[in-house]
Structure 1
Amino acid sequence: MEKVTLIATATMGLEALVAREVRDLGYEDVEVENGRVTFTADVSAIARVNLWLRTADRIKLKVGEFKAYSFDELFEKTKALPWAEILPPHAEFPVIGRSVKSKLFSVSDCQAIVKKAVVESMKTRYKRGWFDEDGPFYRIEVALLKDVATLTIDTSGTGLHKRGYRYLHNEAPLKETLAAAMIKLTTWDAERPFADPFCGSGTLAIEAAMIGQNIAPGFNRDFASEGWHVVGDQRWRQAREEVEDKANYAQALDITGSDIDHRAVELAQGNAMEAGFGDLLTFKQMQVRDFSHKGSYGIVIGNPPYGERLGERPEVEQMYKDMGEALRRHETWSAYILTSHEGFEELYGKKANKKRKLYNGNIKTDYYQFFGPRPPRD
């Protein structure tokens, strides 16, 4: 198997960012759809995209796609796919499923039929009647949408937002993939100051440090496909060597985080240590109204409380006013704020230059972008 079709799943609204990351890795055959980015590449891409993609949720290997209006059709077309080219005889291969707007609406039945079809396909190839399933893990998914069945195998294992550094978090942690997306949607680069005045468990600051030093987000974790013979140890070794070669650990960074809650500051400091940035990032307890920085042309990125609970709303709205006053004292800075509060601009005291719809979990939010002047060229 030389060429594979991969699907990078994405949170709604981040598909274009994921596609840009895929292209930046050198893969050109890219198709963008709602919730996913599909592309064709050589097998080594399985390792590379798992290690490097910052804004994708997970990477799936596409085995086949076809219309299925009956269980018989689902069984026969699944059986005809080249499962034995991917699955070794001792593979562990559970099947999960979902169905949307399709005649085959019983997910449990679809899962059972796909499982049986894969077993029958492997029986033909391996000439055996029983599979122990005590080897490498291959999670198969059958996804039906408008009677089109897509069969994939998850290459990531744990979702890609699990970077391996955040063992500690607060009650509503910002997902690492969304944090990376928020940074990628700004004009920040490693030469400019970066500040998060609502740091929580430190995710934005840590993701910024990884971006600033070109450290692959998956460098510190394992993936389901590391044990797959179709990828092989050598390709994984080469991909990890590339990660190490491209990291710029010497890049100086000016990244600070602050929070009104001292417990959040302690969490952020602990996570920064776990990520290897303990001496590089600065966290301190501070209210947003006291925010100050001596640097110029910096970037503020924040995910403040939204005031979703009725009792919190007056306090949150006052905080938004304080934020606007504090950031207006930094005339050369740009600010990027994520919130679901529809009256944010009025409270902040300024109309955003641009807004973008993003989803923080199940919460529909706006990403308010206030552009400061560009730094002068050298």
Structure 2
Amino acid sequence: MEIGVPKETKDQEYRVGLSPSSVRALTERGHHLFIETNAGTGAGFSNEDYRQAGASLVSTGAAWSQPLVVKVKEPLLPEYEYLQKGQLLFTYLHLAADRRLTEQLLNCGVTAIAYETVELPDKRLPLLAPMSIIAGRLAVQFGAHYLERQQGGRGVLLGGIPGVAPGKVVILGGGIVGTEAARIAIGMGAQVTILDISIDRLSYLESIFGSRVELLYSSPAHIEAAVPTADLLVGAVLVLASKAPVLVSRNLVQTMRPGSVIIDIAVDQGGCIETIRPTSHSHPTYVESGIVHCGVPNMPGAVPWTATQALNNSTLPYVLKLANFGMAALDKDSDLAKGLNVQNNRLIHPAVQQVFPDLVD
């Protein structure tokens, strides 16, 4: 099969859909790879790396014109013109937060499989997990930076020092993002609280963190008590293919101390904090009600060398199936089939259908 890999166009998005190692694995199986020139340079992969792996270096249009297109992020408005009927697109989509893209995919007739909705029988999301790990770890790394006074923060050192209390990190959601955020915050010496609605998950977190983390059931009362005390508030809520619920109201944000920091990883699904809005790596923060907000939806793009390889470790087996069997791969792999969001001008994924019922046939 002919496979195209365009260069990402989102602000400072340096990840690339396929690494040279993945390209080699595909070309050795007889597939033809068309990589947009300089698509991987931001992640540390040169054009020569791709040539040696067996790929052809091509223009933007040529990369997009292939029957299978593999990306990292959702197509942006300038890329809509490249979407073609019958084309198979494999990438992150997060359609619940993007009606315009959803409508475009429906209108153009592309078949779109979203990384974030490929689902294993035990409900794990194998293609979302590696980026969730990175985003969770970066959330605290970023948050510690934005707490610095020169960045508009309170001037709090998360780890504190002997004689001075550490900073407090409150994490909404104890899934992969929340767990990894807690792991880094604990390593920095911060005081950490995690809130989650699953008692089973809280029990699991106790088994790995013990008494180093305060674990609370995510009730409105507990959220209202925890948020005002946070130096760093991390939104880490995930609802599969749906908008994240708003757990922290604007009024509650206003009870936080000036210079505190909010980082909402759920921003690509609408966000779980009312005052959050998408930002970018070029302009990552804004201040509202005296609180520093960070809503970068492609946070792992800050570490593209690590993130590209981590993503490819998970996506390559599915790319190989799509390359080998085309759409028949969905019949052979029920996990991959759950990733199908749009096909033949129809909205397929049940959770996305619930978000946009008026777009369902």
Q: Highest relative contact order (Cα 8 Å, sep 6+), 1 or 2?
A: 2
Please confirm whether the aligned pair reaches a TM-score higher than 0.5, indicating the same fold: no
Relative to its length, the structure with more strand (as a share) is 1
TM-score normalised by the shorter chain: which range applies?
Answer: 0.3 to 0.5
Using the size of structure 2 for normalisation, the TM-score is 0.37
Relative to its length, the structure with more helix (as a share) is 2
Using the size of structure 1 for normalisation, the TM-score is 0.35
